[in-house]
Structure 1
Amino acid sequence: MIASDTIALIVDPDFGLPTREVAARVRHTWIVETPENLATVIKIRKASHKPLEHMMENGITTFLQYGPDPESWCDTTLDSVEEHHSSHAGGRGYGVLEIYGISLTERLRRACLEFGFSVFAETDYGFRAEKLGRD
Structure 2
Amino acid sequence: MYRRSIITQMGEEGEGRLRRRVHGSAGLCGNPKPSYETVKRECAPLYISSIKAINTDDNSDERTSGVEIVIANKNALPCYEAKGYHLAGFDGAGCLISYTTLEPLKPGETQKIFLADAHSQLARIAIQRPNGTESISYFI
Q: TM-score, with normalisation over the residues of structure 1?
A: 0.27
Greater helix share, structure number: 1
Q: Point out which structure has higher relative CO (alpha carbons under 8 A, 6+ apart).
A: 1
Rg bigger for which structure? Answer: 2
